[in-house]
Chain A
Amino acid sequence: MGLTGTEADIINCVARLRLAKKDQIRRQVGFSLEYIGFICRDLIRRCYLGFSEGHYFLAKDGIKTLLAEETPKIDRKLLKEVAEEVARQISGELKRTVKGIKIPVSVREIIKETGFGTSEERIKIKTDFDLPVEDESLLLESNIDKIGTRVEKEKSDDMDKTVRLFKELHGKRRKK
């Protein structure tokens, strides 16, 4: 399977930096950290990238790709224009062909197709520390507790179902 534009960008970025953190890749390629993590995991699975101690590096197939100069060298703007033109033509054809056909979509199929849902690698920021914050409000005198806060209530209805669904999706991501 060939590389998409973003995958090639990530490989080029890792090649330039030799050892690249997820955040460095994010800054150069765009997207959220989660999404970059997702693509990188896929590239690791396909042996384009390796990962060790919070850094990505080029793996066997990644180096081969670079040597074979398979990464897109075409001007991105031009590529985008061509892609948009092709997409317009294809979508017109597609709309005519599949008109009236309802394509069933399930969560499982989407996860299977896109691979979204693989477990998240979290890079620990080494300078992250517990900041002791003093309760400066203890120096204040107030009648807020005496008067109280504004309280509103609503029926929770489907909240338990929502929590279960959210857990289920995250569980699937971890298992993958």
Chain B
Amino acid sequence: MIKTKDEKGIEGLKGKIQKGKGVDIGTMFVKCAHKEGDEIVFRSQRNAFFDVEHTDFTKKILDNSKVKYIIKEDDLYVVGDEALQFANMFNKDTRRPLSKGVISPTEKEALPIIELLIKSVVGEPSHKGEIVYFSVPGEPLDADFNVLYHIKMVEGFLKTLGYAPKPINEGHAIILAELAEEDFTGMGLSFGGGMVNVCLSFMSVPIFKFSVAKSGDWIDQQVAMAVDETASRVSAIKESSLDLSKEGDLSKIESALSIYYNHLIEYVIENIKQEFAKARRLPKIPNPISIILSGGTSLPKGFSGRFKQILDRLKLPIPVGSVRMASQPLRSVAKGALIAASADESKK
């Protein structure tokens, strides 16, 4: 019996794994989302590696301790969260396949490593041509590079794996994940490792989108220089114990982090204001917009409070309703990409 399109659709929903995937390819993490029954499953890898001495003994120890590694010819690299731990142990910095949101131009191992990490989280397509939306940064306002090479390389690689890949702007993905109740109208901000991505959307249509090439890594580097530490150690402190709502009794590193967080937030808001100034005709947005904050750099306690404080002072040219953290700041980009992929798959 030939099944109608609707019947096929219903059958697809009953199946455990639903078609379509969303991948967040960030400077710090690669994360893939897919839907399984009534759950969204996220698979992730940290986007960092660290070279250690390559001997059979080291390899055996890493295998026994379940530490992920990659071997290329004579080189052995520890990958993932453990790379950060190793780097701290040796008082050095990790190496990264992505820099400022795109494939690192200066890292010779960038391509094979990022391919391996992407492959490990997306897996095989459920069928040839399964739609996968992958996150891409907006064109940077303050850096002299464009994102086309990065997009084409990732797209080409996902095609090689058998997917039908489509790019989605990082900020836009956040809006799809978080602003359905507001008809996908509002602003999505992703404070990632290498960039901050911003998208203003009206009824799901991006009005403007851009990125700035300063974010978590920039904070780490500036603080590291200021207090004579390694960026990896600063990053570890930032991720584990920083509290931006704390006003007194700050350590030297915490004070420096607080100063550079302030600077970054102000820099982003000023850039948003500039984009509004360039955009001479905006659609009539009837209600104050919501701003969603997301990404690893937005994780420290007190971040949204700090952002609101600075926004109150600097003010945007349109009324702002709520400023809030994404429900899951590390997952919203992948989730938004998954929503776009699911919508496309269900149209097939």
List residues of chain A with CB under 8 Å of any chain B CB: 4-7, 9, 29-32, 34-35, 38-39, 103, 105, 107, 110-111, 113-114, 116-117, 130-137, 139-145, 147, 149-156, 158-159, 161-163, 165-167, 169-170, 173
Which residues 276-300 of B have a CB within 8 angstroms of A?
A: 278-281, 283-284, 286-287
| Of B40-48, B231-239, B302-310, the one with at least 4 CB within 8 A of chain A | B40-48
Task: Say whether B208 contacts A153, CB under 8 Å.
Answer: no
Cβ–Cβ < 8 Å partners of B184 in chain A: 165-166, 169
Task: Say whether B115 contacts A165, CB under 8 Å.
Answer: no
- Whether B105 sits at the interface, judged by CB under 8 Å, is no
Task: Say whether A135 contacts B207, CB under 8 Å.
Answer: no
Task: Say whether B70 contacts A170, CB under 8 Å.
Answer: no
A113–B279 Cα gap in the complex (Å)? 20
The one of A141, A156, A166, A167 in contact with B35, judged by C-beta atoms closer than 8 angstroms, is A156
A110–B283 Cα gap in the complex (Å)? 10
Task: Say whether A139 contacts B72, CB under 8 Å.
Answer: yes
Which residues 308-348 of B have a CB within 8 angstroms of A?
A: 328, 331, 335, 338-340, 342-343, 346-347
Cβ–Cβ < 8 Å partners of A131 in chain B: 152-153, 155-156
List residues of chain B with CB under 8 Å of any chain A CB: 35, 38-45, 62-63, 66, 68-72, 79, 111-113, 115-117, 119-121, 152-153, 155-157, 159-161, 176-177, 180, 183-184, 202-209, 278-281, 283-284, 286-287, 328, 331, 335, 338-340, 342-343, 346-347
Contact A9:B280 (CB < 8 A) given known A35-B205, A131-B156, A162-B176: yes
Measured between C-beta atoms, what is the minimum distance from B79 to chain A in Å? 7
Prevailing SS type, chain B contact patch:
mixed
Task: Say whether A116 contacts B180, CB under 8 Å.
Answer: no
Task: Say whether B120 contacts A140, CB under 8 Å.
Answer: no
Cβ–Cβ < 8 Å partners of A173 in chain B: 205
Interface centre among A132, A145, A163, A169 (most CB of B within 10 A): A163
Task: Say whether B62 contacts A143, CB under 8 Å.
Answer: yes
The one of A132, A152, A163 in contact with B346, judged by C-beta atoms closer than 8 angstroms, is A163
Task: Say whether B112 contacts A139, CB under 8 Å.
Answer: yes
A114–B283 Cα gap in the complex (Å)? 7
Chain B residue at smallest Cβ distance from A109: B286
Chain B residue at smallest Cβ distance from A33: B206
Cβ–Cβ < 8 Å partners of A6 in chain B: 280-281
Measured between C-beta atoms, what is the minimum distance from A8 to chain B in Å? 10
Measured between C-beta atoms, what is the minimum distance from A83 to chain B in Å? 10
Task: Say whether A151 contacts B41, CB under 8 Å.
Answer: yes
Task: Say whether B207 contacts A35, CB under 8 Å.
Answer: yes
